[in-house]
Amino acid sequence: MELREGQEIQGQSGLTHSVQAIGVDDKTDRVIVVSAEHNPRIAALMRVDIQATMPRAKVLLTRPIAVDLAHAARTLFTTPTGDIDIQKVIEIGSLSAQGEKGGEALSSRYGPQLEAIMSNIARSGLPIRTHILSAFDQITELDWQNIGGGGPALSLQTALNALNRLTNIDNLAADRSQGICPFPTYELDGDDWELFLSGKRIDDVRARLQGLDVYQYFYPPTDTVALGLIDNGLGSEQLITEGLKIAEQEGHILTDNELVSGLTDVANIIGSFRDRGIVADVEYSAEITERGKAIRLGMKLRPKEALIARLVSKVSLSASLADILKMVGGGS
C-alpha cells in the first residue's frame, strides 16, 4: 500500500475534506482515507463524496479519536473495578480550590495520567479545531438538566452524577452506526506511537491494530461477520452469504476464521456455531443464543463492529428491494 500524505481531498461535490493521510492499494483497488473530521456523520458523507470520484476504487475510511472524555474520566476517577472513586473526586475538588499550592499537589499526584492523556492528543496530529469540537460534542451529549437537578450550584452529588454519566458514554457508537471505523488513539501508549511511527516491524503493527480491533474492520474474519449478521436478525444462509459478498465488494478483505477454524462454507460455519451452542435453528434461519450473545458482547463496543452496522444496513436494504420486486412481479 502506498502512503500519500495530505491535508485535503476533494470530493465529487467540489467540497474539500480534511484528511491526515491516504493509503492506496493498487492490487486490491482499495483507498483508505484517514479522516481529520470531528463528526462521524460528516466523515460518513465525506467517504461517499470521495467514493463518487473513484467509481472503480473501494474507498474505506477511518476516523482517529484522540479526545475521549469518558476514557479520561475513567482514567482519573474510577477504581480498578470501574466504580467512581469518591475520595479521588473529593481530593481533586479540594486541591483545585487551593490555588497554586493545590495545583502543584494535583500535578504531583495526577500528573502522569494527565500527561498520558495530553500526549496522545498532541501525538495524534489532528487539528486543534477537531479536538475542541469533539470535546464540545461529547459534553453536550450529557443531560445537564438532570445531572444538576435543575440547580446552579456545583455540589459533590452533581459532580458524581456527571461522572457516572460521562464514564458510561460509548464515544465510538456514532462512528460504528455510520459504518466508518473509529480509531481510538487515546488507547495508545508511548511504545505504540514509537511502533507506528517507525515504519518497521509490520507484524507487530498488525498485532497491535488487531488488539485495538481496528485491523478486523479492514480484514474481517469470515465467521465473526457471519455471527454479527445473525445477531442482527440476518440469520439465513442466503442473507449471510449476501453480507459476505457485499463486504468483499466494498473492500473488506475476508480472512481466516476467529471462532471456528478451518471452515469457509457458510452452511458449515453456521453448523459449527450450532454444534457449539452459539446459535440455534428457528424456522429457516439461525438465531443467536445466550452463549452467542456473550461472545458478541465484547465485539459490539469495538471499532470492528462498524463493518457489521454497515453490512446490516446494506443487506436489509437489498432484502427489502428484493421483496418489493417480487411483489411487483407477482402483481404484473
Are 91 and 77 within one domain?
A: yes
Average pLDDT of the residues in 222-251: 95
pLDDT at 285 over 60: yes
Torsion angle, CA of 226/229/231/236, rounded to 10 degrees? -80
Are 191 and 160 within one domain?
A: no
Task: Quote the pTM value.
Answer: 0.86
Q: What is the CATH number for 243?
A: 1.10.10
CA distances from 329 to 71, 312, 316 (A): 53, 25, 20
Instruction: Give me the pLDDT at residue 78, please.
Output: 87
Cα maximum dimension of the chain: 83
Cα–Cα distance, 112 to 89 (Å, whole number): 17
Are 180 and 280 within one domain?
A: no
Are 249 and 305 within one domain?
A: yes
In the chain, the number of structural domains is 3
Instruction: Give me the pLDDT at residue 87, please.
Output: 85
Q: Which of 68-72, 90-94, 272-276, 277-281 has the lowest mean pLDDT?
A: 90-94
Are 326 and 234 within one domain?
A: yes
Are 74 and 158 within one domain?
A: yes
pLDDT at 332 over 50: no
Are 154 and 84 within one domain?
A: yes
Inter-axis angle of helices 69-77 and 99-123, to 10 degrees? 130
Count other Cβ atoms within 10 Å, centred on residue 232.
Answer: 19
Residue environment code for 149-165, b if the CB has 16+ CB neighbours within 10 A, otherwise e: eeeeeeeeebbbbbbeb
Cα–Cα distance, 22 to 11 (Å, whole number): 14
Pair 46, 36: CB distance under 8 Å: no
- Using pLDDT thresholds of 50, 70 and 90, give the confidence band for residue 238: very high
Are 282 and 326 within one domain?
A: yes
